[in-house]
Amino acid sequence: MNETAAKKNIKLARTLLLVAVAMFGFGYALVPLYDVLCEWKWIERDRPDAIKKAPELAYKVDLNREVTIEFITTLNESTPMEFHAEKKQLKVHPGEYYTVNFYAENKTNKVMIARAIPSFSPAVTSRYFEKIECFCFSEQTFNAKEAKTMPMRFVVNPELPEQYKTITLSYTFFDNTENQ
Amino acid sequence: MSAVVAEHDEHHADDHHGPAKGLLRWIITTNHKDIGTLYLLFALAMFFVGGSMAMVIRAELFEPGLQFVDPAFFNSMTTMHALVMVFGAVMPAFVGLANWQIPLMIGAADMALPRMNNMSFWMLVAGVLLLASTLFMEGGAPNGGWTLYPPLVLQPITVGKALPFAVFSVHLLGISSIMGAINIIATIFNMRAPAMKLMDMPLFVWTWLITAFLLIAVMPVFAGAVTMLLTDKFFHTSFFNAAGGGDPVLYEHIFWFFGHPEVYIMILPTFGVASTIIPVFARKPLFGYASMVWATGAIAFLSFIVWAHHMFTVGMPLAGELYFMYATMLIAVPTGVKVFNWTATMWKGAMSFETPMLFCIAFVVLFTMGGFTGLMMAIAPVDFQYHDTYFIVAHFHYTLVPASIFILMAAGYFWLPKWTGHMYNEKIGQLHFWLSAISVNILFFPQHFLGLAGMPRRIPDYAVQFADWNMISSIGGFIFGASQLLFLYIVIDTIKGGTGEKVTDEVWEDASKHSLEWTLPSPVPYHTWTTPPAMVPTEHVLDTH
Ligand code: HEM
Ligand SMILES: [Cu+2]
């Protein structure tokens, strides 16, 4: 190989290496891009405002319609807790306010900071499910062996499209103590 | 040695007098043929390592119930089998072929960046060893599947201490393949004989050029995804951790943005080798050379925009399901063009059926079946049934074993005589072919039925109604596994002298009309094309009369 050929090769290799580095960055750029796509509803996911407080508005209660809300409670990995909802399901009228109690208990002898993350199925229903009060709005601190009864107050927005007759709301408790 | 060798090469003082003596030769070599040999032998060894893992899987699934291994180890086996086969066997084998063949086929003296070439091989070895070391760690090797999905892979119970090692191993393998890809692109662009235009290049060279771009585009994305896993696990980031506002589905998108092009990284060079071998034994030029090149480009482009067909069931909006469904089906068009062209190349050809050609014909037939099951799964609503069952296991094994692996075998039979100067034993070769071709179907065809009947993938035990087909599949698996020892024998035997029959420079009748390497002496001297060839044969102007 002569000088110029070697130079040409190295130049091309540098350019290609730059492309590779850029693609590494692109992988990370997919993270914010994903949020944007979710916002544009290109990707359906539980909306971030599913864990935000909604104002308590007066809706016209639709007594002719009934929607079944199912509650599922899960613990992530080995989160050492007891966690369940006071009822497995509830029939609600859109527009009417309800309160459901959730029970959680720290099984350990240490302070635990845990976080409940909601998830809706079907995912689109998350934007019609408005929470006025929820233990999922912030992290929950549990003292050793502490048990808590935590209310969740919500309303199903009457604009919920007709075809949705059942909404499954699942909460998963994550032990976040180590991430403090 | 021939006169070509004597010519002086100013830049690589370390290799212009033939190979260094002893073992050191293999460690410090920058010669493309040595490095190609290293890659190929390493890949062959990994093929047997990954294959042994598959034998463990099939032994456990021979009967319902837990027989030989515990479930966590079983899951390690499926995970490691896939990782070793993809990153340790198939990809390195094609890089090995590229190292040997691309310079010979384009009339270049060596690869463009010989030292980087050496480095990328040894980095591959380091990466695979690091991965293999996890087998001996507390908690065992990764067992959450080769896709390394969170949250599964982040949970202590599924990953033990192995995760950081698996992640660093992916980094090393990624860097190694990116360096390999850069080298291949630089070689093809800058080192071609002046007489060779881009559209004169053999299809093997074309498909590798396009594959190399795919590698550079997606390997870094995979490296990024596993880095995010690592920081989620150890540095409290929350890319995929729902508790911190992350989303595990995001990982699936990033992974498959890499993962789908990755499957084409394994198949495009396969297409290239098939397109190189079939014309020689059909004694005709390749049908539709230009359309082959364009089809390869089209497949590569489409491979970037179909990834979510791996995630139809995660809950995409209807528009997304439809888009990914139709985009995926579109891939069947350029793929169909290729199958048509191979068939048309054989049509009315004066065909002969030596071992490499037999493997190629089996490839055309069986790969097409894998493509068809792919099309079935591309239909979003029915994929809800097929997803994560043995049907998909059957699909991708049809596209990988009787396709990529068969074509690698074909390449071995086709070029070994050229590389070594010795003829392989045709009788044993044919036996190897027939045993492989029959047993691969006994192994994988029943898996279609199992999947349709609902048997999930990645389970060590199953309901009794799946017992019969599993047993048949396992028997096929054992025969297939054992048959590959014949290939090992043939490779060693050929290197040592083979049949003793002296091969001509051309090896195969009129091969030199198809591609440059056959105009060189057999065995190929240590240094070749120190002066580029003045004339190059090309497929599309080859005279058929
Ligand atoms: C016509 C071409 C093809 C189509 C339409 C197609 C379609 C698909 C679809 C829809 C899936 C997802 C199935 C599911 O998870 O439910 C899939 C999985 C897969 N395909 Fe293909 N495919 C094609 C060709 C190939 C080729 C050429 C290869 C490899 C060489 C390949 C390798 C794979 C692999 C490895 C998986 C499974 C990945 C995993 O989940 O572990 N496919 N294919
Ligand atoms: Cu795919």
The full set of domain ranges for chain A reads 3-39, 48-179
pLDDT level of residue B419 (50, 70, 90 thresholds): very high
A 138-177: CB under 8 A from B: 172, 174, 176
Residue of A14, A18, A23 best to disrupt the B interface, most CBs of B under 10 A:
A23
Q: Does A113 touch chain B (CB under 8 A)?
A: no
CATH code of the region A48-179: 2.60.370.10
pLDDT at B7 over 50: no
Q: Kindly give the distance from the C-alpha atom of residue B82 to the centroid of ligand 2, in angstroms, as a whole number.
A: 15
The reported pLDDT for the residue numbered A60 is: 85
Q: Does A23 touch chain B (CB under 8 A)?
A: yes
Contact B411, B273 (CB under 8 A): yes
ipTM confidence: 0.86
The reported pLDDT for the residue numbered B244 is: 77
Helix (H) / strand (E) element for A24: namely helix A3-39
pLDDT level of residue B436 (50, 70, 90 thresholds): very high
Tell me the CATH architecture of domain B2-14+26-544: Up-down Bundle (1.20)
Helix (H) / strand (E) element for B259: namely helix B248-282
- Coil, strand or helix at A119: strand
Cβ of B467 below 6 Å from ligand 1: no
Look at A21-25, A106-110, B97-101, B258-262 and tell me which has the smallest mean pLDDT.
A106-110
Q: Encode pLDDT of B37-80 as tens digits.
A: 999 999 999 999 999 999 999 999 999 999 899 998 999 999 99
Cβ of B397 below 6 Å from ligand 1: no
Query: For residue A161, what are the contacts with CB-CB under 8 A and spacing of at least 6?
Result: none
The reported pLDDT for the residue numbered B13 is: 42
Mean pLDDT of the region B366-370: 95
Picking from B227, B153, B142, B247, the residue whose alpha carbon sits closest to that of residue A77 is B153
Picking from B265, B294, B434, the residue whose alpha carbon sits closest to that of residue B355 is B434
Q: Kindly give the distance from the C-alpha atom of residue A27 to the centroid of ligand 1, in angstroms, as a whole number.
A: 22
DSSP string, B143-210: -STTTT-TTGGGSHHHHTTTHHHHHHHHHHHHHHHHHHHHHHHHHHHHSS-TT--GGGS-HHHHHHHH
Cβ of B332 below 6 Å from ligand 1: yes
Domain boundaries, chain B: 2-14+26-544
Q: Encode pLDDT of A112-152 as tens digits.
A: 888 888 888 887 788 888 888 888 888 888 888 888 888 89
Query: Whose alpha carbon is nearest atom 19 of ligand 1?
Result: B396
- Give the nearest chain B residue to A115 (CA atoms): B243
Ligand 1 atom showing the smallest separation from residue B389 Cα = 16
Picking from A108, A100, A99, A101, the residue whose alpha carbon sits closest to that of residue A141 is A108
Is A45 in Cβ contact with B247 (below 8 Å)? yes
B260 is catalytic: yes
Question: What is the residue whose two structure tokens read 């994903």?
Answer: A34
CA distance B8 to A86: 85
Q: Encode pLDDT of B483-541 as tens digits.
A: 999 999 999 999 998 788 888 888 998 888 888 999 998 899 998 888 888 887 766 55
Q: Kindly give the distance from the C-alpha atom of residue B305 to the centroid of ligand 2, in angstroms, as a whole number.
A: 10
Greatest pairwise CA separation for chain A in angstroms: 86
Whole-model pTM?
A: 0.89
